[in-house]
Amino acid sequence: MTPNRHRDFKLDICSVVLILPLLVAPLLTESPLLDSLSFQIAIGVSATLAVYIMLRMGLLSFTVPAFMAFGAYAAAMLAKGGTTNLLLLMAISFLVPALIAVPLGAMVLRLKGIYFIFITFVFNEILQLIIFETPTLTGGSDGISGVPPATLFSLDLAGRAGIVLVPVVVCAAAMLCTLLVTQRFRAEFTSIEENETLAESLGVAIWKYRTIGFVASAGVAGLAGFALANMLATAHPSSFASWSVINFIAYAFIGGRGTMLGVVAGSALLIVMNSIFSSYAQLSAGMNGVLLLVVMIAAPGGLVGTCVRLYGAAKTRVNGALTAHVQEERA
Amino acid sequence: MSSASITALRVKGATKQFGGLKVFEGISFEVAPGGVMGVIGPNGAGKTTLINVMCGMLKPTSGRILIGDQDITGKPLHAVSRLGVARSFQQTNTFRSVSVDENLFRAQRFGGSHGGLDLGLSELLEEFGLIRHLHEPSEKLPYGLQKMLGLIMVLAARPRFLLLDEPAAGLERRERTQVDRFVEHARSRLGCGILIVEHDMELVRRLCPYILVLEAGRLLAQGSPADVLSRKEVIDAYLGASEE
């Protein structure tokens, strides 16, 4: 493993470890604020990971809200039908959007740049329209309400602990899936992002890896959608509005789109900031926009990327100084 | 059919046309395993387009590309590469943000080889002075080293045939001997059949026992360099023009 790969792997593992306090903190306190932050961050991280997977291949996908909706509605329908097992609900919320992503990917993954962004954005709008026009299946503008909470074997996850626990378990599953896909295909994904022609000339089937990433991204978004529907006890179209993807993109870019740690840092930071400044909630989108601009201009690698770059530069300077010192001593 | 032509890379009657513009027409030749063939011609003769067609980046308008009897016409670039026909690029072409060893790792992985630096590549890295830059990002390397890294990456993908698009372009005169060394290594150690598109006539004379001359999309002449480069029509069409 070369130093870069080793470093990125460590940062990704670090992000998984950082998620543990989310699991523990609210259960040790009686703070509703911490409960709220915990599930918001867990859902935010899960949805942002769906954006992150596609960004690893240089594709900015706007389909996340649509795939979240597929996951949420599939799980809500199953739960309303009487199947409330957490693992089954997670499985269905992953599989349904992942399966839909296969034919959709065949159509849209040949596009790049603004064309890809545009078509994936339009897909959200089409799905919203379908939801509104199919009230017998999806509840239309009312959504599917009264979704029973998930259970785990004999354990009822309806209480406060359950509301916190389910998003965190979902987030852990989303992180694991993302870690597996992005580490297993790291070389292919990053090569496609950096130099697609060279990668293909060396034998990389671009369409294959784009499809793998798109399917994994859809599944992870579906998990986030399920966590949201479970928490709200409702699968409602307004929860999956097209514009919501802007927040997830902001989390990824501000935290740093090169590692999962960036996703965790960006999501946590912005969600906590939005909570602190909640009295100015109507300004949150504007604040995210300004932050996004500042980071794109001043620190294109995001918070984590910039820290890694500064650390690398400092390390090189120290090593240089040490080498010079040793040479002086020898002389 | 001879045993050599069974596994040779064969171009049969290839024509490439963009709308009304015919880049080349009815080109036929074959590159034998372990053989080195040069393709020369003035700018715009269709040399790079020929490589693009052979490697799968472009589909020929008509004609066929074969490895032995296996038809690879129209197969995509990655599939042709996996079948053993790899290409290099005129300009430096590496994964710029990552280190030299990461570049080599990726080339080996994408080519289906995971066994560390084998194929004698470490010898080439040593000789070309890349070994001491293994952990540096490739974009920090001087142009010549980036160019040689690009060539070694192609070799790391374990090709059976190499299509080298102006491998000496942009290199200093003393660096060009590294291209000789590279070609010799690919031919003798891996048994690669090699097609070289190049403007450096000295290099072509040194490396290629057989050359094709393309001019305005047609095959003007073919044969040994001594024979072909002394023909009046070749001198008029190519060498004469370049000397003016």
B161-165 and B85-87 strand pairing: parallel
Q: Among positive and negative, which fits the CA dihedral A84, A85, A88, A93?
A: positive
Q: Which of B189, B197, B186 is nearest to B163 (CA)?
A: B197
Burial class (CB in 10 A: 0-12, 13-18, 19+), B96: middle
Q: Are strands B70-71 and B218-223 parallel, antiparallel or unpaired?
A: unpaired
Q: Does B55 touch chain A (CB under 8 A)?
A: yes
| CB < 8 Å to A194, chain B | 95-98
On the question of pLDDT at A119 being above 70, the answer is: yes
Model confidence pLDDT, tens digit, residues A135-178: 999 999 999 999 999 988 877 777 777 788 899 999 999 999 99
Report yes or no on B61 lying in a domain: yes
Inter-chain residue contact B112 with A2, CB threshold 8 Å:
no
What tokens appear for A247 in the block? 């927040």
Q: How many CB atoms lie within 10 A of CB A300?
A: 13
- Is residue A286 predicted with pLDDT exceeding 90? no
Record: contact B96-A195, CB cut-off 8 A: yes
pLDDT tens-digit series, residues A101-114? 999 999 999 998 89
State the pairing for strand pair B9-18/B21-31. antiparallel
Q: Does A18 touch chain B (CB under 8 A)?
A: no
DSSP letter, residue B99: B
Taking contacts as CB-CB distances below 8 angstroms, the residues of chain B near A110 are none
Entry pTM: 0.89
Closest CA to A71 of A44, A101, A29, A109: A101
In a domain, B124, yes or no: no
- Residue B177 within any structural domain of the chain: yes
- The partner residues of B18 in beta bridges, in order of sequence, read B21
Of A3, A187, A204, the CB nearest to B78: A204
The answer to whether B105 contacts chain A (CB < 8 Å) is: yes
> Where exactly are the structural domains of chain A?
3-330
CATH code of the domain covering residue B177: 3.40.50.300
- Say what the pLDDT of residue A162 is: 79
Identify residue B114 by its one-letter amino acid code. Answer: H
**B87 in A contact zone (CB under 8 Å):** yes
Whether the Cβ atoms of residue A233 and residue A239 lie closer than 8 Å to each other: no
Q: Which two tokens stand for residue A91?
A: 């499985």
Number of other residues whose CB lies within 10 A of the CB of residue A10: 12
Identity of the residue in B79, B82, B109 whose CB atom sits nearest the CB atom of A187: B109
Determine the pLDDT at residue B244: 44
Check A190 against B154: CB less than 8 A apart.
no
Tokens of B13: 């009657």
**B210 Cβ under 8 Å from any chain A Cβ:** no
CA distances from B92 to A198, A247, B138, B148, B167 (A): 11, 38, 10, 8, 9
Compute CA A122 distance to the chain's CA centroid, rounded to the nearest angstrom: 20
Look at residues A29, A96, A103 and name the one whose alpha carbon lies nearest to residue A66: A96
Report the number of distinct structural domains present in chain B: 1
Write out the two tokens for A5: 């790969």
Picking from A5, A195, A200, the nearest residue to B95 by CB comes out as A195
Find chain A residues with C-beta within 8 A of B57's C-beta: 201
3-state secondary structure chain A: CCHHHHHHHHHHHHHHHHCHHHHHHHHHCCCHHHHHHHHHHHHHHHHHHHHHHHHCCCCCCCCHHHHHHHHHHHHHHHHHCCCCEHHHHHHHHHHHHHHHHHHHHHHHCCCCHHHHHHHHHHHHHHHHHHHHHCHHHHCHHHCEECCCCCEECCEECCCHHHHHHHHHHHHHHHHHHHHHHHHHCHHHHHHHHHCHHHHHHCCCCHHHHHHHHHHHHHHHHHHHHHHHHHHHCEECHHHHCCCHHHHHHHHHHHHCCCCHHHHHHHHHHHHHHHHHCHHHHHHHHHHHHHHHHHHHHHCCCHHHHHHHHHHHHHHHHHHHHHHHHHHHHHC
**Cβ–Cβ contact A316 with B under 8 A:** no
Q: Give domain status of residue B104, yes or no.
A: no
d(CA A312, CA A316): 6
User: Do A63 and A221 form a contact (C-beta atoms < 8 A)?
Assistant: yes
Per the domain annotation, does B182 fall within a domain? yes
Bridge partner residues of B24 (DSSP): B16
| Distance from the B96 Cα atom to the nearest Cα atom in chain A, whole angstroms | 8
pLDDT at residue number A158: 76
Q: Could you identify the residue written with the tokens 């009312």?
A: A142
Q: Is B160 on the interface with A (CB under 8 A)?
A: no
Chain B contact present for A5, CB below 8 A: yes
Residues near A37 by beta carbon (within 8 Å), at least 6 away in sequence? A271, A272, A275
CB contact under 8 A, A194 and B97: yes
Does B188 fall in a domain? yes
Per the CB < 8 Å rule, is B96 touching A5? no
- pLDDT, tens digit only, all 244 positions of chain B: 444 455 899 999 999 999 888 899 999 999 999 999 999 988 888 999 999 999 999 999 999 999 999 999 999 999 999 999 999 999 999 999 899 999 999 999 998 865 544 578 888 999 999 999 999 999 999 999 999 999 999 999 889 999 999 999 989 888 899 999 999 999 988 899 999 999 888 999 999 999 999 988 888 899 999 898 888 888 887 655 544 4
Q: Between A253 and A29, where is the model more confident?
A: A253
- Domain assignment present for B181: yes
1.20.950, 1.10.10, 3.30.1180, 1.10.3470: CATH of A3-330: 1.10.3470
Half-sphere exposure for A133 (CA within 13 Å, toward CB): 6
Residue B62 belongs to some domain of the structure: yes
Contact B55 A201 (CB under 8 A): yes
Residues in Cβ contact with A93 at an 8 Å cutoff, skipping those fewer than 6 apart:
A71, A72, A74, A75, A222, A223, A225, A226
- Beta bridge partners of residue A235, listed in sequence order: A144
pLDDT band at A31, cuts 50/70/90? Answer: confident
A194 lies within 8 A of chain B by CB: yes
Indicate yes or no: CB of A204 within 8 angstroms of CB of B111: no
Instruction: Give the bridge partners for B30, in sequence order.
Output: B10
- Asked whether the beta carbons of residue A202 and residue B110 sit closer than 8 angstroms, the reply is yes
Residue of A nearest to B109 (CA): A187
- Number of Cβ pairs closer than 8 Å across A and B? 72
Q: With contact defined as beta carbons under 8 Å apart, do A282 and A268 qualify?
A: no
Name the minimum distance, in Å, from the CA of B44 to any CA of chain A: 22
What is each CA distance from B167 to B92, B152, B229, in whole angstroms? 9, 11, 20
**Confidence at residue A1, expressed as pLDDT on a 0 to 100 scale:** 55
Instruction: Write the single-letter amino acid at B26.
Output: G
What percent of chain A lies above the pLDDT cut of 90?
60
Residue B180's domain spans which residues?
Answer: 3-93+162-243
To 5 degrees, how large is the angle CA A306–CA A307–CA A310?
A: 85
